[in-house]
Amino acid sequence: MAMRQTPLTCSGHTRPVVDLAFSGITPYGYFLISACKDGKPMLRQGDTGDWIGTFLGHKGAVWGATLNKDATKAATAAADFTAKVWDAVSGDELMTLAHKHIVKTVDFTQDSNYLLTGGQDKLLRIYDLNKPEAEPKEISGHTSGIKKALWCSEDKQILSADDKTVRLWDHATMTEVKSLNFNMSVSSMEYIPEGEILVITYGRSIAFHSAVSLDPVKSFEAPATINSASLHPEKEFLVAGGEDFKLYKYDYNSGEELESYKGHFGPIHCVRFSPDGELYASGSEDGTLRLWQTVVGKTYGLWKCVLPGKNFYSKLSNRAS
């Protein structure tokens, strides 16, 4: 008998959840941050979804959010023309980085010393967080608003996506190395350092490329328009969600659809695997985050698997007699 997937629902947001990110695994577990159009990004315990705190200070929708590896800092990108850096332990705002237009994406370097931002003004900016008063380095070349920008290759390169183009940049020379053009809008991009894999979604396609060369590796077609996809840390599975409110789980090697679940009451905007691969989180138009088990029925976090054993059946038979 197939086990039923029971997601954990994380409420608290009042508008659509448009981005989420996990920290690395720390001595205190791992953590989850969510960006929401209500302007109030939230921090949660990653394995349970328990609310830890809300970062207060933005005056517009928050489009992007991220945590550094050890979950000591958070960064957010917002429609109020700012990116903010926060102390993720105390919740205090550390700095506000003014931009000239809506900011959509933020990403820390591995050492947390630099922050990469991108947004509607088509510029990539690199801020030295140890010199917040210094002007950021700027990289131009995008022809439409930047949706996602990520450090890659041990921070030596940058990946960025606008409407229909993904670009690879050299950090040292600030020049474009290569670009990919798509015939429809790119909806999401995820970078997997182990193996240098880039996951791109557009239309109903989930495409995998080399993050070093941008060469194609493989691609899958989903039954509906996909807004986000994530690859399991051990590259066994991938999950995707989009316009039909469903989450799809695929075998990464064969492309076979393994499961699909409907739990949200609106389109899914973002989905990510936890750093240990035990669960994945999804954020939706319905204002909730949901946590789903990678292996249904396993005891993990708040999920407790109790299988009926011999004693259970003997008690039943004794009671019947």
What pLDDT sits at residue 311? Answer: 45
What pLDDT sits at residue 146? Answer: 98
- Dihedral angle, C-alpha 231, 256, 47, 230, nearest 10 °: 20
Planar angle of CA 198, 202, 204, nearest 5 degrees? 115
Q: What is the pTM of this model?
A: 0.93
**Rounded-to-integer distance, Cα 99 and Cα 252, Å:** 39
**Rounded-to-integer distance, Cα 161 and Cα 228, Å:** 13
What pLDDT sits at residue 309? Answer: 54
Architecture of the 8-293 domain: 7 Propeller (2.130)
Q: Which two tokens stand for residue 34?
A: 């969510």
What is the domain partition of the chain in residue ranges? 8-293
Which strand (E) or helix (H) includes residue 279? strand 279-284
What pLDDT sits at residue 105? Answer: 98
Can you give the pLDDT of all 321 residues of the chain as single tens digits?
457 888 999 999 999 999 999 999 999 999 999 999 999 999 999 999 999 999 999 999 999 999 999 999 999 999 999 999 999 999 999 999 999 999 999 999 999 999 999 999 999 999 999 998 899 999 999 999 999 999 999 999 999 999 999 999 999 999 999 999 999 999 999 999 999 999 999 999 999 999 999 999 999 999 999 999 999 999 999 999 999 999 999 999 999 999 999 989 999 999 999 999 999 999 999 999 999 999 998 999 999 876 655 443 333 333 333
